[in-house]
Chain A
Amino acid sequence: MREAVLRLRYRFWPDHLLGEILSKRWTETAIPVIVLLIVAVAFTRAIPGFLSPASLADTARQAAEIGFVVLGMALVIVVGGIDLSVGSIFALTDFCALFCLDVLELPVPAVVVITIAFGALLGAVNGFLIGYLRLRAFITTLITLIIYRSAYDLLLFDYSNTIAAAFPDTPLWNFMGGGDILGVPSVAVLYGIVAIFGHVFMTRLRPGWHITAIGGSRRSAYNSGIPVRATIARCYAASGALTAVGALFFAARLGTVGGDVGVGLEVTVLTAAVLGGISLGGGRGSVARALVGTLIVLLITNGLTTLSVRGGVNRMVLAGILLVAATIDIRWLKNRNRIIAKVYVSPTFHEMPRLQPVGVGSNVPFVQNDRLSGVSLIGLGRIEAPEDVILDRHDNLYAGSRHGDIIRFFPPDYEKMEVYAHIGGQPLGMAFDRSDNLYVCIGGMGLYRITPDRKVEKATDETNRSLRSVNDDSRLRLADDLDIADDGRIFFSEATVRYEMHEWPVDGLEARGNGRIVCYDPRNGTTRTVLRGLKFPNGICVERGSQSILFAETWGCCVKRYWFDGPKTGQVEMVMENLPGFPDNINLASDGNYWLAMVGMRSPALDLAWRMPGFRRRMAKRVPIDEWLFPNINTGCVLRFNSKGEVLETYWDLAGVNHPMITSMREHKGYLYLGGIQNNRIGRLKLDGADPGFVQYDRRWGKGT
Chain B
Amino acid sequence: MIATLKAFGDRVLGRGDAAITVPIFDGALKPNQLLAGAETVGQFEDANDIATDGKTLLVVDGGRILSMGDGGSTEIARFDRSVTALCALPRGGIAIALAGEEVRIVGGPEDGRRWVDAGGAPFHAANAICCASDGGLAVTDGSRRYEWAHWTHDLMDRGWSGRVVFLDPRTGAARVGVAGLEYAFGACASGADTLVSESWRHRLLAIGPGDQRRVVLDRLPVYPSRIVAAAGGGFWLTAFAARTQLVEFVLRENAFRRRMMKEIAPEHWIAPRLRSGESFLEPMQGAHLRTMGVLKPWAPPRSYGLVIRLSPQGTPLYSLHSRVDGVNHGIVAAAEFAGFLYLLAKGPGRLLRLALAGIEQELAA
Q: Which residues of A contact B (CB under 8 A)?
A: 355, 359, 384, 505, 600-601, 603-606, 608-609, 612, 615, 618-619, 621-635, 656-657, 660-661, 678-681
Contacts and interface: CB of A to CB of B under 8 A. Distances in A.
A270 B72 CA distance: 89
Secondary structure of the B side of the interface?
loop
A537 to B, nearest CB: 21
Given A622-B249, A623-B20, A601 B280 contact: yes
A630 B286 contact: yes
Nearest to A368: B280
Contacts of B260: 605, 608
Given A622-B249, A629-B270, A631-B284, 8 more contacts: A384-B292, A603-B284, A619-B249, A623-B245, A627-B286, A629-B284, A630-B286, A660-B290
Interface stretch (B32-40, B174-182, B251-259): B251-259
Contacts, number: 105
Contacts of A619: 246, 249
Given A603-B283, A629-B283, A630-B284, A678 B291 contact: yes
Nearest to B281: A603
Contacts of B244: 627
Output the residue of A384, A606, A608, A625 with the most chain B CB within 10 A.
A608
Given A601-B280, A603-B283, A615-B255, A629 B246 contact: yes
B245 A608 contact: no
B19 to A, nearest CB: 8
Contacts of A626: 285-287, 299-300
Nearest to B245: A627
B263 A608 contact: yes
10 contacts: A603-B280, A603-B281, A606-B283, A615-B253, A619-B249, A626-B300, A627-B287, A634-B284, A678-B292, A681-B293
A600 to B, nearest CB: 8
A234 B244 CA distance: 58
* A-B CB proximity, top 5 nearest: A635-B280, A632-B284, A605-B283, A626-B287, A680-B292
Contacts of A680: 292-293
B292 A629 contact: no
B289 A634 contact: yes
A401 B320 CA distance: 39
A605 B136 CA distance: 45
B102 interface: no
B280 to A, nearest CB: 4
A603 B268 contact: yes
Contacts of B259: 608, 612
Interface of B: 14, 20, 244-246, 249, 253, 255-256, 259-260, 263-265, 268-270, 279-293, 299-300
Contacts of B253: 615, 618
A606 B268 CA distance: 10
Given A605-B264, A608-B264, A615-B256, A629 B285 contact: yes
A660 B249 CA distance: 29
Contact of A603 (B14, B282, B286): B282
Nearest to A357: B281
Given A384-B292, A656-B290, A601 B245 contact: no
Contact of A630 (B264, B279, B289): B289
Contacts of B291: 678
Contacts of B246: 619, 623, 627-629
Contact of B285 (A601, A627, A635): A627
B362 to A, nearest CB: 28
A622 B283 contact: no
A355 B263 CA distance: 12
Contacts of A384: 292
A627 B300 contact: yes
B71 to A, nearest CB: 33
A630 B288 contact: yes
Contacts of B255: 612, 615
B90 to A, nearest CB: 46
Contact of A604 (B263, B286, B289, B300): B263
Contacts of A608: 256, 259-260, 263-264
Contacts of A633: 284, 289
B244 to A, nearest CB: 6
Contacts of B279: 359
Given A615-B253, A615-B255, A680-B292, A624 B245 contact: yes
A661 B280 CA distance: 12
Nearest to A634: B290
Nearest to A628: B286
Nearest to A385: B292
Contact of B280 (A609, A615, A634, A679): A634
Nearest to B247: A627
A631 B244 CA distance: 18
Contacts of B300: 626-627
Nearest to A631: B284
Output the residue of B244, B263, B289 with the most chain A CB within 10 A.
B289
Output the residue of A384, A612, A622, A624 with the most chain B CB within 10 A.
A622
A412 to B, nearest CB: 25
Contacts of A621: 14
Contacts of A656: 290
A112 B356 CA distance: 96
B267 to A, nearest CB: 10
A661 B290 CA distance: 8
Contacts of B282: 603, 632
A359 B293 CA distance: 23
A245 to B, nearest CB: 51
Output the residue of A604, A619, A661, A681 with the most chain B CB within 10 A.
A604
Contacts of A623: 20, 245-246, 249
A608 B250 CA distance: 13
Nearest to B21: A622
A7 to B, nearest CB: 15
A600 B293 CA distance: 15
B102 to A, nearest CB: 36
A499 B265 CA distance: 33
Output the residue of B255, B286, B299 with the most chain A CB within 10 A.
B286
A449 to B, nearest CB: 29
A359 B279 CA distance: 9
Contacts of B14: 618, 621-622
A610 to B, nearest CB: 12
